[in-house]
Chains A and B, each alone.
Chain A
Amino acid sequence: MAELCGIVGIGQTKYDAKRIDVSMPGLCREAALRALEDAGLGFADIDAVVVGKAPDTFEGVMLPENYLADALGAVGKPLLRVHTAGSVGGSTANVAMSLVQAGIHDRVLTVAWEKQSESNAMWGLSLSPPFSVSVVAGAGGYFAPLIRKYIARSGAPEDTGIRTALKDRLNAHKNPYAHLQIEGVDFEMIANSPMLWDPIRYLESCPSSDGACAMVLAREQLADDAPNAPAWVHATAMRSEPTQFPGRDAVNPLAGRMAAQDLYKKAGIQDPRREIDCAEIYVPFSWFEAMWMETMGFAPEGEGWKMVYDGATALDGDMPINMSGGVLSSNPIGASGMCRYAEAAMQVRGQAGEHQVDGAKLALGHAYGGGSQYFSLCIVGTEKP
């Protein structure tokens, strides 16, 4: 690696079902300008822009970043558009980081966004090309059988998902940007919410959100001089595998396990649960927290649910997970991965306000996408690697 990369600015929009107060450029600028303000910089200080978003069908605009070029201050500069399914917010940040790490640019602005209210994600996911099977049911219908398989394998108690959802929904009350802040939410309310795709209840599911998340990245010397302490990038990792083939383990995918091991190796981490202070994990449906605890090596196989049950993943537990309220509370799909990275970085910068984990020095950001087949990860720290 030619250069260290520091995250010197973070900006998020308020996440909401319909941000009808802003256009697509307005939404992206809201996040970008907040990130620049945090970094004490303007658009003129930026060398390149990397944009991430999930399918263009979610807004009905083809390559919308071309349309956004001047709103994001990219005119006359390089602009890249990354798209790796649900993991895109993470992989977009990884690509932006690599531009700094490779020594190609000094400062990079990266923005990930989705404005689902412009179109309809369920429609976007359910198009039926000739000679192919359409999922039709959307993401919940796709992932529910994987969760049932996990329950059958691990013998996890059936309220594991409800407990996870309650934790995330209560954390969201502490995050001013969160989309869903459900008043009076408790175990009973979640348990009694409609069953959508057994075993996933309505309140165990992510919402459809409008929103954008932005980060300003800088090379070491410039990050040292940033007005607010940077989050240093210790390691990033990505892995992908095909959607379907006989013998594939879609519950605990090899790509996810390999990405985690690669990440820990690069960051010099031996015991992730002990060494990492907190993590933001992509959990669009409650049960995925327990499942990813195993994939990420925080719990032995078959025991991820115990971390939920024991309260280990609560804000005051030994391995806090999704301090921001997570994807369950805000899901601007293309940005959701970058929101995870941003929260991890906010934690090690001590910026997380009421959802701050005391003394967090090393945090992990995680995103996944497709049929649990795309994984993007990063580890950020208060200290340089």
Chain B
Amino acid sequence: MREVGIVSFAQSSALRERRNEVEILLPVAKEAVEASGMKRQEIGFTCSGSSDFLQGQAFAFVMGLDAVGAWPPVVESHVEMDGAFALYEAWVKIQTGEVDSALVYSFGKTSPGDLAEVLALQLDPYCVTQLWPDADSVAALQARLFMARAGLEERDLAEVAVRSRRAASDNSHAIVKGESDVETLLAEPCRSSPLRAHDCPANGDGATAMVIATGDRARALCDRPVWIRGFEHRIDAPALGVRDLTRAPSAQAAARAAGVHDDKLDFAELDAPYTHQELILRESMELPEDLEVNPSGGSLCTRVLFSCGLTRVGEAASRIASGAGDRALAHTTQGHCLQQNLAVVLEGE
């Protein structure tokens, strides 16, 4: 495998936006490219992740080209997935030897629509979507099953929220942050039992961009490139009734294949939009109990759909680049109840 390093990373504020997707993306892409030290035209490949259904428009990603400089024409691709999967495609492209660098970006703006309703469209269209189960309620089914199996209480979930919000205090992009306590959180009403608002993701609008490059190129461009050492993703069955919702076998398989356990991790950035999902992921990915998870506050505190996976990678890479760790796991998930999972192992130079 060719050595691929993360050279630069930029993200927008995740707060509710009046700007459209192109306007949100433009300064973020510009920042990532400028920070990379490369000229736009020098970057060999461009790949993005986004969703037509969030934007309520066919070919929504086409307008993204206006924001990232696609003239003269660029070698470019797009996945209808989180930006972390666009990063995967770019990494594969570099592995073919055709290119040595890539600009990866993603964006999501959920505020104009009813997200809970939109996400119901991801379920079995013939038998389940017709019932319009909202995303929080589907997650609540999983939470209920997991709590029963693991012998947990709502208090255990609230502790995840308290810790995540505290960690997010230093994150200028975070939507929800600050000190809270379990008793106060548990005094709030349930949104979809057993989940309360603090158990559910804080959704926002935003964009993420990243530049990656091969070995010596990356070394020449930045002081401490962060290397992609393992990169894997897997998917589980979609039907909620055919798999054990309290486990995420695709997360386990991705983590093992990516070499998560080959060496000691300093921390992990997990895309766990619900409190109980962090606990399921920790267990399924076989992470040590004392491992620091989501020093950024994670997607519980800041979720920009279709961008939050790439943001997890970027947050982890930034932390390593700053010297606050040498080896980390970044993760993202897609679909309901942790159906699809991606794991990246990052290491500092």
- Residues of chain A touching chain B, judged by Cβ–Cβ distance below 8 Å, are 1-2, 23-24, 53-64, 66-70, 74-85, 91, 94-95, 98-99, 101-104, 118, 124-125, 127, 129-132, 237-243, 245, 253-255, 258-259, 370-371, 373-374
With contacts A95-B92, A98-B92, A127-B58 taken as known, whether A238 is within 8 angstroms of B75 at the C-beta atoms is yes
Q: Which of A24, A85, A242 lies at the interface centre, i.e. has the most chain B CB atoms within 10 A of its CB?
A: A242
Near A by CB (< 8 A), chain B positions 290-349 give 334-335, 339-340
| CB nearest neighbor in B for A243 | B62
With contacts A69-B237, A82-B80 taken as known, whether A62 is within 8 angstroms of B232 at the C-beta atoms is no
Contacts of B121 in A (CB 8 A): 56, 60-62
Contact between B126 and A23 (Cβ–Cβ < 8 Å)? Answer: yes
Contacts of B233 in A (CB 8 A): 78-79
Contact between A240 and B65 (Cβ–Cβ < 8 Å)? Answer: yes
Contact between A57 and B52 (Cβ–Cβ < 8 Å)? Answer: yes
B164 contacts the other chain (CB 8 A): no
Q: Which of A66, A95, A259, A373 lies at the interface centre, i.e. has the most chain B CB atoms within 10 A of its CB?
A: A66
Q: Cα distance A94–B77 when bound, in Å?
A: 10
Contacts of B237 in A (CB 8 A): 69-70, 75
From B26-34, B66-74, B171-179, B213-221, the one touching the partner chain is B66-74
5 closest A-B pairs (Cβ-Cβ)? A102-B95, A255-B73, A55-B58, A240-B76, A83-B80
Q: Cα distance A246–B123 when bound, in Å?
A: 43
Contact between A129 and B57 (Cβ–Cβ < 8 Å)? Answer: yes
Of the four ranges (under 10, 10 to 19, 20 to 34, 35 or more), the interface on chain B belongs to 35 or more
Closest Cβ of chain A to B312, distance in Å, is 18
Contact between A75 and B235 (Cβ–Cβ < 8 Å)? Answer: yes
Closest Cβ of chain B to A18, distance in Å, is 16
Q: Cα distance A53–B123 when bound, in Å?
A: 17
Contact between A85 and B93 (Cβ–Cβ < 8 Å)? Answer: no
Contact between A56 and B234 (Cβ–Cβ < 8 Å)? Answer: no
Near A by CB (< 8 A), chain B positions 76-99 give 76-81, 85, 88-89, 92-93, 95-98
Contact partner of A69 among B71, B236, B253, CB < 8 A?
Answer: B236
Contacts of A54 in B (CB 8 A): 58
Contact partner of B79 among A83, A124, A259, CB < 8 A?
Answer: A83
Contact between B250 and A76 (Cβ–Cβ < 8 Å)? Answer: yes
Near A by CB (< 8 A), chain B positions 223-252 give 232-239, 242, 249-250
Chain B 261-292 interface 0/1 with A at a Cβ cutoff of 8 Å (1 = within) = 00000000000000000000000000000000
Contacts of A24 in B (CB 8 A): 125
Contact between B95 and A2 (Cβ–Cβ < 8 Å)? Answer: yes
Q: Cα distance A372–B239 when bound, in Å?
A: 38
Closest Cβ of chain B to A159, distance in Å, is 33
Closest Cβ of chain A to B13, distance in Å, is 20
| CB nearest neighbor in A for B89 | A95
Contacts of A59 in B (CB 8 A): 125
Contact between B238 and A70 (Cβ–Cβ < 8 Å)? Answer: yes
Contact between B58 and A58 (Cβ–Cβ < 8 Å)? Answer: yes
Contact between B76 and A85 (Cβ–Cβ < 8 Å)? Answer: no
Contact between B81 and A125 (Cβ–Cβ < 8 Å)? Answer: no
Contact between A1 and B236 (Cβ–Cβ < 8 Å)? Answer: no
B37 contacts the other chain (CB 8 A): no
Closest Cβ of chain A to B341, distance in Å, is 10
B189 contacts the other chain (CB 8 A): no
B132 contacts the other chain (CB 8 A): no
B180 contacts the other chain (CB 8 A): no
Contacts of B73 in A (CB 8 A): 239-241, 253-255, 258-259
Contact between A57 and B78 (Cβ–Cβ < 8 Å)? Answer: no
Contact between B95 and A103 (Cβ–Cβ < 8 Å)? Answer: yes
Q: Cα distance A373–B66 when bound, in Å?
A: 12
B20 contacts the other chain (CB 8 A): yes
Contact between B62 and A76 (Cβ–Cβ < 8 Å)? Answer: no
B61 contacts the other chain (CB 8 A): yes
Contacts of B56 in A (CB 8 A): 127, 129
Contacts of A1 in B (CB 8 A): 96-98
Q: List 11 A-B contacts (CB under 8 A).
A: A2-B95, A2-B96, A56-B52, A61-B122, A62-B53, A76-B236, A80-B85, A98-B96, A129-B57, A131-B20, A242-B71
Contacts of A85 in B (CB 8 A): 59, 62
B3 contacts the other chain (CB 8 A): no
| CB nearest neighbor in B for A74 | B235
| CB nearest neighbor in B for A254 | B73
| CB nearest neighbor in B for A83 | B80
Contacts of A83 in B (CB 8 A): 52, 61, 78-80
Contact between B340 and A102 (Cβ–Cβ < 8 Å)? Answer: no
Q: Cα distance A3–B20 when bound, in Å?
A: 42
Contact between A66 and B95 (Cβ–Cβ < 8 Å)? Answer: no
Contacts of B239 in A (CB 8 A): 70
Closest Cβ of chain A to B29, distance in Å, is 13
Q: Cα distance A132–B21 when bound, in Å?
A: 12
Q: Cα distance A84–B71 when bound, in Å?
A: 17
Known: A23-B126, A62-B121. 15 other contacts (CB 8 A): A2-B96, A62-B122, A63-B335, A66-B339, A67-B122, A75-B235, A84-B76, A98-B96, A103-B95, A127-B57, A129-B57, A240-B70, A242-B65, A243-B65, A258-B73
